[in-house]
Amino acid sequence: MKRREILAAGALSGMIPLTGFASKQAQHQNQDTSKELYEWRTYDLKFRGNQNRLKSYLNDHLRPAFTKRGANHFLQFSSYGLEEPPKHWVLISYPDAETYLNCQTITHDPAFIQRSADYHSLPPEQAVYTRMKSSLLYAFDGLPKMDGEVADAGLFELRIYEGYSEDAVRRKIMMFNLEEIALFQKIGLRPLFFGEMIAGPYRPCLVYMLYFKDMEERNALWKQFGQHPEWQAMRVKAEYADTVSNIRKSFLLPG
């Protein structure tokens, strides 16, 4: 078996199949239905660490290197609040698992190490973060690729929906694919991505991100969504009962 086939088989073996979506898939069988893989990175910065040094490394070295190797998007986020020590987040989208794996080897590339020597040669006392954690997400059928046009975004909201079982998350994903994403778009809630977590904490769960101009717009749109008759009808359907056991929310700024 070729390496590409092995990677594809391995990636798909961990996915939970979605049911009830076959008819819509058939309608789009002649379109590009490939779904992206997302990596969500969290950098735990050192107390009084040099956050600008990390940002410079990500902007000047890692992002162009990943893009050259095939990554689709490379977005950075900072904290909306004033917690200390702060965190820094990176969202990277890949067209497939092979591209993801290829990008992970970049720090073993002698040419890359030489180009970014000012960062990689930092002594321990000047380290900019304590740990870097990653989660992998597999895009939904209902939004297979990230909307990267976020130039007017001033606020991002990351939402993690945990389920009490794998089937609960499967049914919530089905709810998004068949009805909820369309309602989001109808009322103006702008999703950046939707993904099922296939590696990382909080599993089983799904993750998605919305973007807004500011908190005022965010609050107004969520209020409109909660009062919408389509949501009121959707939320009481038996097939969607008990799909979310916990919600985690984070507010982030671009850059």
Res 51: pLDDT: 86
Q: Residue 89 above 60 pLDDT?
A: yes
Q: Residue 171 above 80 pLDDT?
A: yes
| pLDDT tens digits along 100-121 | 999 999 999 999 999 999 999 9
How far is the CA of 224 from the CAs of 183, 184, 188, in angstroms? 11, 10, 10
Long-range CB contacts (within 8 A, 24+) of 15-22: 15/138, 15/196, 15/198, 16/166, 16/169, 16/170, 16/173, 16/196, 17/170, 18/141, 18/170, 18/173, 18/174, 18/177, 19/170, 19/174, 20/174, 20/178, 21/141, 21/174, 21/177, 21/178
Give the separation between CA 254 and CA 251, rounded to whole angstroms. Answer: 10
Cα torsion 163, 164, 170, 176 to 10°: value is -30
| pLDDT tens digits along 25-36 | 333 334 446 999
Look up residue 52 and give its amino acid. Answer: N
| pLDDT tens digits along 200-240 | 999 999 999 999 999 999 999 999 999 999 999 999 999 99
Domains and CATH numbers, the chain: 34-139 (3.30.70.100), 140-255 (3.30.70.100)
**Which pTM does this prediction carry?**
0.84
Q: Residue 24 above 90 pLDDT?
A: no
Please tell me whether residue 205 adopts helix, strand or coil conformation: strand
